[in-house]
Amino acid sequence: MTFIDYSNEEKSNKSSATKEEKATTTLPEDASQWGYDMYPERKGTSSGPYKKSRSITDYLSGKGRDNIDKIRCERNVYKCVKESPLVKLMMGALRSSGCGLDIRRHIACEECAPQVSGGYDPIMNQVIVCHNTAKNEGIVQGVLTHELIHMFDYCRNDLDFKNLDHLACTEIRAANLAHCSFMSAWMSGNASVFNIKETHQDCVKSKALSSVLAARSGISKTEAINAIERVFPKCYPDLEPIGRRLRRNSYDMYKAYEEGYYYGYDIP
């Protein structure tokens, strides 16, 4: 899932530092239209533009315990950065594209609305991992892979999140590379051995649709579907930087990691 970029400057320089220089810390007037209502810590006012204040009632009701979840989330993020082939591949691809990633600056564990597990904020060029919903290492790995694909597209492809077709394209790519597999469709009862290709494409479209609608509450479902269908023939075959569609319970992510060297990615 993504937010909308409200920076009006051109994306001519691809470095991560330049991205951050362009970013503004002023939230859009109607933040809910662009998905910020699902990330309350992005629109608070306590000690910074994205800090959320807590009352004593919050702590007495148990909400203060989210610090424990946040620490657990940060540990899972660190473990994924050190050990996950997919996360290391994405970080290497970003570095090789001139957009190095510092986990202290570019990844944040925050409390989110219960229907989301992560997001990408192009205003801050930052991945959000929702510590109240992404509670184990496997989910955190999926969130990081998905959102780092958005960061990669923003870095490499002049992505404009205000453009609905651009948003649809990056959501298609993230669903294609980080989520959908024949096995997951099979387990949900939507696949057969006769329609593997069609089922995967349907999964990608469905996942992209839900993400687009979450990021752009101001558009209709029909508008989102039309945008996905317009860009699907171009965006679905684009497998960079992972290079393959990952099958569940396979060694595909390890193969993708090994193949990253052949593409010149700076992988640790």
Task: For residue range 174-228, list pLDDT tens digits in order.
Answer: 999 988 864 444 334 444 444 456 788 998 999 999 999 988 878 999 999 999 9
Sign of the alpha-carbon torsion through 171, 176, 180, 182: positive
Q: Which tens digits make up the pLDDT trace of 9-60?
A: 333 343 444 444 444 444 455 555 556 667 777 765 333 334 454 544 554 4
Task: Tell me, yes or no, if 83 is annotated catalytic.
Answer: no
The DSSP-derived string for 31-82 is GGGGTGGG-GGGS--SSSTTPPP--HHHHHTTGGGHHHHHHHHHHHHHHHHH
Rounded CA separation 184/202 (Å): 12
List 230's β-bridge partners, or say none.
none
Q: Where are the domains of the chain?
A: 14-158+248-268, 160-237
Relative to beta strand 126-130, strand 107-110 is parallel
Rounded CA separation 212/2 (Å): 8
- Give the residue with greater pLDDT, 268 vs 99: 99
- Give the residue with greater pLDDT, 169 vs 218: 169
Tell me the CB-side half-sphere exposure of residue 67, using CA atoms within 13 A.
Answer: 6
- pLDDT reported for residue 233: 96
The overall average pLDDT reported for the chain is: 78
Q: Annotated catalytic residue: which of 110, 111, 147, 171?
A: 147
Rounded CA separation 97/266 (Å): 9
Q: Which two tokens stand for residue 223?
A: 């508008």
